[in-house]
């Protein structure tokens, strides 16, 4: 049995989308990061890094959303080409996402919303970088349906997680027609709709 420890966050939703796309049954274990549950002792025993998501697959504990996506794709033989250029392109996008886009979006959001005091240079730096990366993806999607070509893969799932929460860093898809078209296409997939509904349902009413 698969367990996912997660909340309604950009990195968590990726894992639920992959599980729904792959039709793998799972139990969703809510970790309310707004209340700091990711720093509780029981959760730290699962992920000493104190962050969601965490996947537990038959006792095998795995952290890092990109690693989890690769694990699920390899387990099923889907959403990731088995070899060659197609597979390399997926890893290219996963690394670009994990080392570039995700930190830029996360830090832009932190300095805009959570910093104990205003840090205009840091906020501008990460916001400008996040927006530049949106432009990069928009240009790529001018000539192809998905981020690695004509097939929907785990790389699309990775990028979708943050695009779904694009308001947090104060960015937007306005003026990015290709990225907007891609976002609408991915958001309309039944598995994506199901995953979002499931993860939103664990957020307690304010």
Ligand X SMILES: N[C@@H](CCC(=O)N[C@@H](CS)C(=O)NCC(=O)O)C(=O)O
Does position 10 bind ligand X by CB under 6 A? yes
Q: Sketch the per residue contact string, 66 through 85, with ligand X: x for CB under 6 A, - otherwise.
A: x-------------------
Q: What is the DSSP string of 26-59?
A: EEEEE--GGGTGGGSHHHHHH-TT--S-EEEETT
In degrees and rounded to multiples of 5, residue 43 shows phi and psi of -75, -40
How far from 27 is each of 5, 44, 52, 186, 196, CA to CA, in Å? 9, 19, 15, 23, 15
* Smallest distance, ligand X to C-beta of residue 194, A: 19
Does position 93 bind ligand X by CB under 6 A? no
Q: How far apart are CA 38 and CA 48, in angstroms?
A: 9
Whose Cβ is closer to ligand X: residue 53's or residue 130's? Answer: 53
Judged by CB under 6 A, the number of residues near ligand X is: 13
Does position 47 bind ligand X by CB under 6 A? no
Does position 52 bind ligand X by CB under 6 A? yes
Does position 107 bind ligand X by CB under 6 A? no
Q: What is the DSSP string of 132-177?
A: HHHHHHHHHTTS-SBTTBSS--HHHHHHHHHHHTTTTTT---TT-H
Residues 166-195 contacting ligand X, CB under 6 A = none
Q: How far apart are CA 144 and CA 181, in angstroms?
A: 11
- And the tokens for 4? 């996912």
Does position 65 bind ligand X by CB under 6 A? yes
The residue within the footprint of ligand X, chosen from 37, 64, 131, 151 (CB under 6 A), is 64
Does position 50 bind ligand X by CB under 6 A? yes
Whose Cβ is closer to ligand X: residue 141's or residue 199's? Answer: 199
Whose Cβ is closer to ligand X: residue 142's or residue 201's? Answer: 201
Whose Cβ is closer to ligand X: residue 152's or residue 168's? Answer: 168
């Amino acid at each position: 049995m698969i367990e996912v420890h997660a909340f309604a966050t950009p990195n968590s939703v990726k894992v639920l989308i992959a599980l729904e796309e792959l039709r793998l049954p799972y139990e969703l274990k809510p970790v309310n990061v707004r209340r700091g549950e990711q720093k509780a002792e029981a959760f730290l025993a699962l992920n000493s890094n104190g962050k969601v998501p965490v996947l537990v697959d038959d006792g095998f504990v795995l952290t890092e959303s990109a690693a989890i996506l690769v694990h699920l794709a390899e387990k099923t033989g889907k959403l990731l080409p088995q070899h060659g250029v197609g597979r390399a392109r997926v890893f290219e996008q996963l690394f670009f996402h994990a080392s570039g886009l995700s930190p830029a979006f996360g830090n832009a959001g932190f300095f805009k919303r959570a910093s104990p005091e205003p840090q205009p240079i840091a906020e501008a730096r990460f916001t400008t970088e996040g927006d530049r990366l949106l432009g990069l993806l928009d240009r790529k999607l001018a000539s192809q349906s998905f981020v690695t070509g004509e097939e929907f893969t785990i790389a699309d799932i990775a990028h979708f997680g943050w695009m779904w929460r694009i308001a947090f860093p104060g960015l937007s898809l306005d003026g990015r027609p290709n990225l907007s078209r891609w976002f609408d296409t991915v958001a309309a997939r039944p598995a994506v709709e199901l995953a979002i509904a499931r993860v939103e349902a664990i957020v307690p009413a304010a």
